Structure 1
Amino acid sequence: MHVVLLGTYDLGKPRTRLLRQSLQAIDPGLQELHVDVWRGVEDKSVMHGMAARLSIGLKMLFGYPWLALRYLFCGRHDVVVIGYMGLFDMLLLAPLAKMRGKPVVWDVFLSVYDTWVRDRGMGREGSLSARLLRRMERRACRTADRLVMDTRAHAALLQQLHDVPESKLDAVLVGAEEGAFTPSGNQPAASTDTGVSILFYGQFIPLHGIDTIIDAALDPRGRPHSWTIVGSGQEAARIDDRLQDADTAHVQRHDWVDYAKLAGLMSGAHVCLGIFGTSQKAASVIPNKVYQTLLCGKPLITSDSPAMRELARQEQAGLYLVPAGDPQALLDAIDRFAQERAELPAVLHRHLCEDFSLTALTRQWRGVLEKAVAQ
């Protein structure tokens, strides 16, 4: 099977890097037609200043004609894959593939409309801009032959949002890069005298439910523990204000840590945190940090959700699933971990990791492409 990976896909996202690796395993002669638009943009919802927006706009303005020309003259292929973020790629480039009679697989990964309007509250639902964005995304969904999300729960959300036929939807897990995250065991590299050492890292967005973590950390039950909170983004200023107004000697706050240093940071913690948001989207996704924690073999506390139950269908040692938005349940899970950590296996989650290994992801992507070509 000959594949073209086309568009302005974000090379900074683990999802995209793993997609590329999977496609290269399926087609060693993979043709990549790419313009790098998103380099250096960690959180696309909080691009500050006209200069950053102008830079993105100019890259797209000059990049799309170049991509269109390269695609029209590219060699023989069976299927076109549009990676994340692919909304404009679908609107501007996918019609060229249809013109050449080639099926288009769109790795949607997330709905821009749902993220911008409903999850992050950056736009008002029903406003002109929101309606326009929704129509654009719906048009893109209709153009694609196959639409791929990260979980079946997330695919169901897209189906509901844009009236997508269920027969067009697929789900491929996100996973984590095995070279960057390797098992480090369930004990930290350095001990702590302040109870359990707890790590959260990620973008400060509503989906992550960071207030639940802060509530737990500031609760009397949370104060004997050591909390490290790493990240930046939409809600960072508000969270920092909360911490500044409280007694937080037991809380360490860092703006950001380089991706290459995350595994080392995780190895120094007893337990890592996932997400605790209460939105429909939060219940529909499994974030990168969950896969990375599992791959490192570290104890993990995260929300019990339909998405997580797709991966962890039964109770697993060192994996604590708690109700979303409930700081007391989070503290209960920490207490449970503290009581049983000496009995936990030295390395956790090996069985779960098999389900999102590169071999497993490649198998999933191959199935998607085969369905697209057969349509």
Structure 2
Amino acid sequence: MRRLLAFGTFDLDRHPRARVLLEGLSSTWQVASLNRPLGFSTAERVRMLEQPWRLGGFAARLAGRWLQLAAGSLRYRGDRAPDALLVGYMGHFDVLLARLLFPRTVIALDHLIFAAGTARDRRASGRVLHLVLSALDRAALAAADVLIMDTDEHARQLRPRERRRALVVPVGAPARWYRLAQGRHGSRDADAPLSIVFFGLFTPLQGTPVIAAALRRLHDDGVAFRATLIGTGQDAERCREILEGVDEVTWVPWLEGADLAETVADHDVCLGIMGSTPKGLDVVPNKVYQGLAAGCAVVTSDTPPQRRVLGDAVDYAPPGDAAALAAVLARLSREPAARRALQVRGRARADELRGDRLVQDLDDRLRRRG
């Protein structure tokens, strides 16, 4: 069996995409991991760009992790040398080190985000910053043999010579989300208020003020529901202001791993994103895949990539439209049969999006490049 080494400073709990890829490939590859998580969230990285005096701490921590990765790479030489490397999500720097340490090995970079586009979406601006991050994007893409993108829209942002090395692999959900969901929805009290969950970093992409405004409208209109909002971030304070006095909403700072999956699976509806930023129109977010795997009815923004991947397995509202989102949720509250039918379609689509099915083309590409 060929050997695959997962390499970098990615965090499997904060960003489970790498877990999905590795789980999917583990049936056909002997998978090992050389991973030293950096410990900075995306929001913290963007904050450093806005406050350059913080970059020293980032550089020092990255240097320390790289020394550990370089030392650890000595175990993967000779007979233990990998046939391919997978550099995990947010590996813009890590892929440069991987190429230095493994110059002749096939390297796949999971390039879910462009650094310049993410900074722009998080409202970090400036021409010099954009030029620096664009250069980082180009250097990272040049260092990899296989570029893993999550949507066709993101792949189209690549230059022609980069696009020839690209492969679109949907984000998917880790296996434990499927396991923890089994049997939970069948025992739900049909007369209980509609239960809604959202989890995320409250970024502009996610459109959380729109979600908050929709929940406010449900409250004002007397719709029976309860909602759990998990996470914090850039737009969280604005959401709290919108939802002041809405007793149906419970706030949870954050949950990790199995606790998050278990909590989501205990709700009827999982919300995707509602942002109308350019980046928000190009993605199918991980929370949509995870909500489907957890057995929830999923409601998300009506965008081309989500329509193409999800079809009728989810319900939609136009991006940025709180009234339309509230109307969808009110209908699911009034019509439990429609909600159950949506959950059934969602579970069927989730089965089609399991990790081992998502990575079939990636498996083939890595073998042909090796």
Fold similarity call, TM over 0.5: yes
CA spacing shift, 1:96–1:363, aligned 2, 3 Å: same
Contact 1:297 1:348 in 2 (8 A): no
Amino acid at match of 1:247: G
User: 2:171 — aligned with what?
Assistant: 174
User: 2:240 — aligned with what?
Assistant: 240
How far is 1:301 from its partner?
0.8
1:59 to 25, 42, 64: 64
Deviates more, 1:249-258 or 1:301-310: 249-258
CA spacing shift, 1:108–1:42, aligned 2, 3 Å: closer
Alignment of 1:286-365 (within 5 A): 286-313=284-311, 315-316=312-313, 319-343=314-338, 344-345=340-341, 347-365=344-362
Contact 1:228 1:251 in 2 (8 A): yes
Contact 1:10 1:37 in 2 (8 A): yes
CA spacing shift, 1:264–1:192, aligned 2, 3 Å: farther
Secondary structure at the residue paired with 1:269? coil
Amino acid at match of 1:233: G
User: 1:229 — aligned with what?
Assistant: 229
1:104 to 101, 104, 107: 107
Q: Deviations over 1:149-171 (max 9, x none)?
A: 122222223x1xx5653221111
Secondary structure at the residue paired with 2:300? strand
CA spacing shift, 1:189–1:47, aligned 2, 3 Å: farther
Deviates more, 1:180-189 or 1:296-305: 180-189
User: 2:144 — aligned with what?
Assistant: 144
Report percent identity of matched pairs. Answer: 28
User: C-alpha separation between the residues in 2 aligned to 1:204 and 1:325?
Assistant: 14
Contact 2:91 2:109 in 1 (8 A): yes
Contact 1:188 1:270 in 2 (8 A): no
Deviates more, 1:73-82 or 1:133-142: 73-82
Deviates more, 1:228-237 or 1:209-218: 228-237
The TM-score, its normalising length taken from structure 2, stands at: 0.84
Correspondence 1:271 to 2:266: no
User: C-alpha separation between the residues in 1 aligned to 2:170 and 2:333?
Assistant: 30
Contact 2:84 2:108 in 1 (8 A): yes
Amino acid at match of 1:287: P
How far is 1:40 from its partner?
7.5
CA spacing shift, 1:25–1:221, aligned 2, 3 Å: same
How far is 1:227 from its partner?
2.6
Q: Deviations over 1:47-81 (max 9, x none)?
A: 79969647623523523542565556673443332
How far is 1:312 from its partner?
1.9
User: C-alpha separation between the residues in 2 aligned to 1:188 and 1:222?
Assistant: 26
1:205 to 203, 206, 214: 203
User: When the two structures are aligned, how many residues end up with a matched partner?
Assistant: 357
CA spacing shift, 1:42–1:104, aligned 2, 3 Å: closer
Contact 2:265 2:295 in 1 (8 A): no
Contact 2:275 2:319 in 1 (8 A): yes
User: C-alpha separation between the residues in 1 aligned to 2:67 and 2:82?
Assistant: 25
User: 2:25 — aligned with what?
Assistant: 23
How far is 1:333 from its partner?
0.8
How far is 1:352 from its partner?
0.7
Contact 1:183 1:295 in 2 (8 A): no
CA spacing shift, 1:77–1:64, aligned 2, 3 Å: closer
Q: Deviations over 1:215-252 (max 9, x none)?
A: 11222337653332221123223333444xx3322322
Secondary structure at the residue paired with 1:179? helix
User: C-alpha separation between the residues in 2 aligned to 1:176 and 1:278?
Assistant: 24
Q: Deviations over 1:266-316 (max 9, x none)?
A: 344332211001122212222222112111221111011122123223x24
Amino acid at match of 1:113: A
Contact 1:209 1:277 in 2 (8 A): yes
Secondary structure at the residue paired with 1:301? strand
User: C-alpha separation between the residues in 2 aligned to 1:302 and 1:186?
Assistant: 20
Contact 1:218 1:248 in 2 (8 A): yes
Amino acid at match of 2:280: A
User: C-alpha separation between the residues in 2 aligned to 1:71 and 1:113?
Assistant: 33
- Any unmatched runs of 5+ in structure 2? none
1:214 to 212, 215, 225: 212
User: C-alpha separation between the residues in 1 aligned to 2:276 and 2:222?
Assistant: 21
Amino acid at match of 2:327: D
CA spacing shift, 1:41–1:335, aligned 2, 3 Å: closer
- Any unmatched runs of 5+ in structure 1? none
User: 1:196 — aligned with what?
Assistant: 194
Contact 1:46 1:234 in 2 (8 A): no
The TM-score, its normalising length taken from structure 1, stands at: 0.83
How far is 1:201 from its partner?
1.5
Q: Deviations over 1:165-222 (max 9, x none)?
A: 32211111221122234245657746776x5322212111111100101111222337
